Amino acid sequence: GSLMRRFVENRDCECEDHCWRCSVELDLKVSYDDKQNEMAMEGDEQDEEGTNIVVTSADLKSNDDDVRAITFGNKEDEANSQDKGISILKLAAGQEIELKAIAICGIAKEHAKWSPVSACVFRFNPIITMDKDVLDRLSLEQKREIVESDPNKVFHLNEQGGSFGKGEIVVAKPEDCTFCEDVVVKAKEIAGEECISIRPDMNHFIYTVETIGSLAPEQVVKEGLHALKYKMQELTNHTAAIAEDQQLQGQGAAMN
Ligand SMILES: [Zn+2]
């Protein structure tokens, strides 16, 4: 949390281009010969003559202790993978590469490359009301027909229930409700009057957040809420400042 907030978004930063507040520099300097010597010293299996060395994201050296290139979203993936990092290029004997990469802090509103989220959807909880008196008068068969008319199988028929022992319609899986009107229409058709209503509860949202692995979903939600809170506070501060200005101007006019 606090580490991510250490950086300022590049577009909000006071610098001309980029600086330590809004970016991190990563150096990439790999030579085929050095790498071969390194591998020989570490006793790693040496590359056979004529083949290449793969330069990966693991070779990027960050100038900031808090920031590094990430290849895996979690430890498990890292343990299960044969790769050391994300492949960038291959070097043949005698070749070398040297470059400086700049990682800039930004948000997805500006460019999708900054989005840590791959999928984000929300839905409402349904508020389902049933007119028991009307439904009670229907036969077991009629109730079954109503229950079975719902493609999402939100309702269940409790055959032994109901005031007259002719079955009772109960809500079994509200989370599967897609607010289709099939049951409402069918119930009205059979009973001759409206007896089931379904509407969304506008005060409760069920969010599904999936990330690409750079941040955990709960982190994304928490940081999102933090950003929202910050913006609301900024808005409050600015409107208060405007109100104060106007009040001062008003007083000035009164004195004149
Ligand atoms: Zn800057």
- Tens-place pLDDT, residues 215-247: 889 989 998 899 899 999 999 999 999 999 888
Rg (CA), the chain: 31
**63, 29 in Cβ contact below 8 A?**
no
**Structural tokens at position 242:** 């405007």
Range with the lowest mean pLDDT among 119-128, 162-171, 199-208, 214-223? 162-171
Backbone angles phi, psi at 91, to 5 degrees: -115, 135
Distance, CA of 220 to CA of 211 (rounded, Å): 8
For residues 205-212, average pLDDT: 89
Tally the domains of the chain: 3
- Tens-place pLDDT, residues 100-126: 999 999 988 889 999 999 999 988 889
107 alpha carbon – ligand 1 mean position (Å): 14
20 alpha carbon – ligand 1 mean position (Å): 6
Q: What is the CATH number of the domain that holds 167?
A: 3.30.70.20
Instruction: State ipTM.
Output: 0.97
Whether 86 shows a pLDDT value over 80: the answer reads yes
Residues 77 and 172 in one domain: no
212 alpha carbon – ligand 1 mean position (Å): 26
Domain span holding position 18: 4-113
Tell me which of 86, 113, 140 is where a domain ends.
113
Residues 191 and 234 in one domain: no
For the chain, the farthest-separated pair of C-alpha atoms sits apart, in whole angstroms, at 91
Res 29: pLDDT: 95
Residues 109 and 125 in one domain: no
Res 175: pLDDT: 86
Q: What is the CATH number of the domain that holds 64?
A: 2.170.120.12
Q: Rounded to the nearest 5 degrees, what angle is found at the Cα of 28, between the Cα atoms of 25 and 33?
A: 160
Distance, CA of 29 to CA of 6 (rounded, Å): 27
Tell me which of 169, 189, 208 is where a domain ends.
208
Tell me which of 85, 113, 141 is where a domain ends.
113
For residues 163-192, average pLDDT: 87
12 alpha carbon – ligand 1 mean position (Å): 8
Residues 81 and 161 in one domain: no
239 strand-pairing partners: none
Q: Which residues of 56-90 are buried (b: 16+ CB within 10 A; e: fewer)?
A: bbebbeeeeeebebebeeeeeeeeeeeeebeebee
**Structural tokens at position 156:** 């269940």
Residues 16 and 100 in one domain: yes
120 alpha carbon – ligand 1 mean position (Å): 30
Q: Rounded to the nearest 5 degrees, what angle is found at the Cα of 106, between the Cα atoms of 105 and 112?
A: 130
Residues 28 and 101 in one domain: yes
